[in-house]
Amino acid sequence: MSPTAMAHALNAGLRRAMEDDDRVVLIGEDIGRLGGVFRVTDGLQKDFGDLRVVDSPLGEAGIVGSAIGLAMAGYRPVCEIQFDGFVFPAMNQIVTQLAKYRHRAEGRASLPVVVRIPVGGGIGAIEHHSESPEAYFAHTAGLKVVCPSSPQDAYDLVRQAVRSDDPVVFLEPKRSYWRKGELDLDAVPAPVERARVLRAGDDVTVVTYGALVPVALEVARICAEEGRSAEVIDLRCLSPIDDATILDSVRRTGRLVVAHEASRTAGLGAEIAARVQDRAFYSLEAPVQRVTGYDTPYPPSRLEEDWLPGVDRVLDAVDRTFEH
């Protein structure tokens, strides 16, 4: 197992999915000859042809709408939305059609569509290129929402997403694309819906996902130097949320910090805090702390490091849980 970038792991996962099932087709802007803005689909059109890796017109509603038609015809399409801020023209197709079709058909039919979306900040991009729209999708019944934080998870989750008979919104943290990690192509993947405890601890639980996972692990390392033991949980799946893993941890540690890049109000941190308060209230030694982006539009690139949650802000939240 050699160090592999997440973008390359995603490419390997898509390639494997296409080799395993001729019904898998990719569709998106510039994904063929160019290989995608982040080169995730590099080389796939060359190897599988332009009928299976389709360069679409610039039109997100048309991309997802075409994928829905392909799924109805028996294919397993994977859409690529070029940047997170460009997904909103396709929201009607995703929320009104994709998410509701199985329910509308009373379970007799499904739409096995994957919508890949690069998300989040930290790359110095311009306006509309650094959004965190996960709460919109997690709020929508009928969609499964996943977000890998490592090359291994990216490889495993994208293959599982393609095999899913339910639609999957697949969020790819942009600043993690070139972060390297070990990749075992033959590893047995964990269930999609299961969160992963990346570091065990006894004093405080830190729950996060995507690009903030390395931040949480650094926080845990610093906590250890200060004599505190922090448990780090990577959600992996944002809908459905793995309540059991979170609750088991909080009942042992008595403290919880939830971190995400998206704005604070109505974010996933609020949902997790509510669930823990409802089901593990008497285990809590302190109020749940949330560390998030601010309730403002994403800032210009020169200010994004002040806007994004970092190690200092998460450490401050951990400290606040020990003040009670």
pLDDT confidence band for 113 (50 / 70 / 90): very high
Catalytic residue among 8, 103, 129, 139: 129
- Quick check: 142 pLDDT over 80? yes
Which of helix, strand or coil describes residue 239? Answer: strand
pLDDT confidence band for 324 (50 / 70 / 90): confident
Q: Assign domain 196-321 one CATH number from 1.10.10.60, 3.40.50.920, 3.90.1150.10, 3.40.190.10.
A: 3.40.50.920
Percentage of residues in the chain with pLDDT exceeding 70?
100
Strands 3-5 and 180-182, bridge-based pairing? antiparallel
First to last CA, the chain: 45
Q: In the Cβ-directed half-sphere of 229, how many Cα atoms lie within 13 Å?
A: 10
Q: Averaged over 50-76, what is the pLDDT?
A: 96
pTM tops 0.85: yes
Q: What is the pLDDT of residue 2?
A: 78
Domain range summary for the chain, segments of one domain joined by +: 3-182, 196-321
The domain 3-182 belongs to what CATH superfamily? Thiamin diphosphate (ThDP)-binding fold, Pyr/PP domains (3.40.50.970)
Distance CA 105, CA 172 (A): 30
Under a CB-based contact definition with an 8 Å cutoff, are residues 182 and 152 in contact? Answer: yes
Let me know if the fold of 3-182 is the same as that of 196-321: yes
**Is 129 one of the annotated active-site residues of the chain?**
yes
Q: What is the pLDDT of residue 227?
A: 96
